[in-house]
Amino acid sequence: MRIGRAACAVLLIAPLALTACAQATAEPDQAGPGYPPVCLTGLPAEPDGPVLAGQGVGAGVLVYRSAGEPGRDAWLLTENGRFVKLPPVPVPPPPATPDPQSSLLPGATAEPQKPLDPMFGVHLSPDGRWLSRPSVAFGSTLRDLTGETVVRLPGVFDPGQWSSNSRWLTTRPLSPGGSSAYERHEVATGEKIEVRLPDRNGEAWQVIGVRDDGTLVMTRMWDGENRDPDPRHESYSIVDPVTGAEVHRTTIDFGDDSTGPFGLVVDSTMFSGSNTGTGAVTAWDLRTGRQLWRHSYQAESPLDYQFWGMGGVSGSSVTVIRNHSMGSPSFADEIEVHRLRRTDGAASLACLLPPNAELVLPGGR
């Protein structure tokens, strides 16, 4: 997830006092990238470091830019505490032969395109190893930050979901006629398959996550005529992408503060956020539909305006973002990244960023 001045659409409006009802899960946590000591002392607004080149620099913890302004440099912070500058995304040169359908007057020449914003289309895998960036020429690239491997994803301008173990990635490339079928990539081996969707009464399906075993978590997409009359109940299916067989289906009762499928999937657990009342983050077991634990955020005072937002997946934990700014720099405070433990939701402060910073976290969408 990327947060900035205008990126509060899926944020939770809620502050800091935490309460939780915890129930143990059957699966152990997986380690994500470790946050270096500089994170707890506060990241600098203008760091110093080399430009990202072809050699390995170490697993990425986050990508950020101070104040979220397009003219500023974007920086990758690595697990070993290094700051690495992201170069702008290059664009292809104009064609040598003018387009006969061009609206330019005879003799006029097109101005060269400027490089794209360095934050455009940036994603990090949950383990921090893979950095995804678009290439206007063909799609996206996955860059191994721990080595020199580069994987091309033709036609993919916005990669989908990572599994929490960073083995699998789902994509939906663009075809000449629009979006094509979903694909599942095993990044380390280069294996790619076209996903088969369940065939039931012409229903449209949306992939919202990929589990560590490679099966997909899907939900049905509804139009205005056939949407479930009770949106608090959402149905999720675990699907074999090779055969299209529905392995398991679960219905979750979110209650009155549902955000439905806008949560994050971490293997067999889904984390949802609330946009009503005091706000909360809740963990759900996708195999049983049971609530595992819930954190509720209580306001410290009637005037204590804070946003909490889903940030990403770090190993088997999730990260959330706390932001005081409310869009007003005069009230801006440091942005906090908190990590919620998978087993019981225990929260710990992971990183402090400059006020109004724009950031991308591992596993964020």
Residue pointed to by tokens 């560590």: 212
HSE-CB at 174 with a 13 A cutoff on CA atoms is 11
| Alpha-carbon span 171 to 121, nearest angstrom | 14
Output the six-digit token pair for 198: 């369940």
What is residue 329's predicted lDDT score, i.e. its pLDDT? 46
Q: Which amino acid is at 282?
A: T
Q: How far is CA 281 from CA 243, 250, 251, 276, 310, in A?
A: 34, 19, 18, 12, 8
**What size, in residues, is the chain?**
365
What is residue 301's predicted lDDT score, i.e. its pLDDT? 46
What is residue 347's predicted lDDT score, i.e. its pLDDT? 82
Backbone angles phi, psi at 68, to 5 degrees: 60, 30
Backbone angles phi, psi at 38, to 5 degrees: -60, -25
Domain boundaries, the chain: 2-87+116-360
| Alpha-carbon span 193 to 157, nearest angstrom | 18
What is residue 79's predicted lDDT score, i.e. its pLDDT? 93
Q: Which amino acid is at 318?
A: V
β-sheet with 216-221: strand ranges across? 204-210, 216-221, 233-239, 246-253
| Alpha-carbon span 141 to 88, nearest angstrom | 14
Query: What's the CATH number for 2-87+116-360?
Result: 2.120.10
**Averages of pLDDT over each 10 residues, the chain, 365 residues:** 37 31 41 84 93 92 82 90 88 58 52 70 92 80 92 82 92 69 90 85 80 91 50 80 92 65 77 62 89 73 55 79 55 78 85 88 84
Cβ-contact 271, 7 below 8 angstroms: no
Output the six-digit token pair for 278: 């005091």
- Within the chain, what is the greatest distance between any pair of CA atoms? 71
351: number of Cβ within 10 Å = 26
What is residue 288's predicted lDDT score, i.e. its pLDDT? 93
Output the six-digit token pair for 313: 């997946």
Backbone region of residue 151 per phi and psi (left: phi > 0; alpha: psi in -120 to 50; beta: other values):
beta
Of 356, 362, 354, nearest to 46 (Cα)?
Answer: 354
Of 237, 233, 235, 212, nearest to 161 (Cα)?
Answer: 212
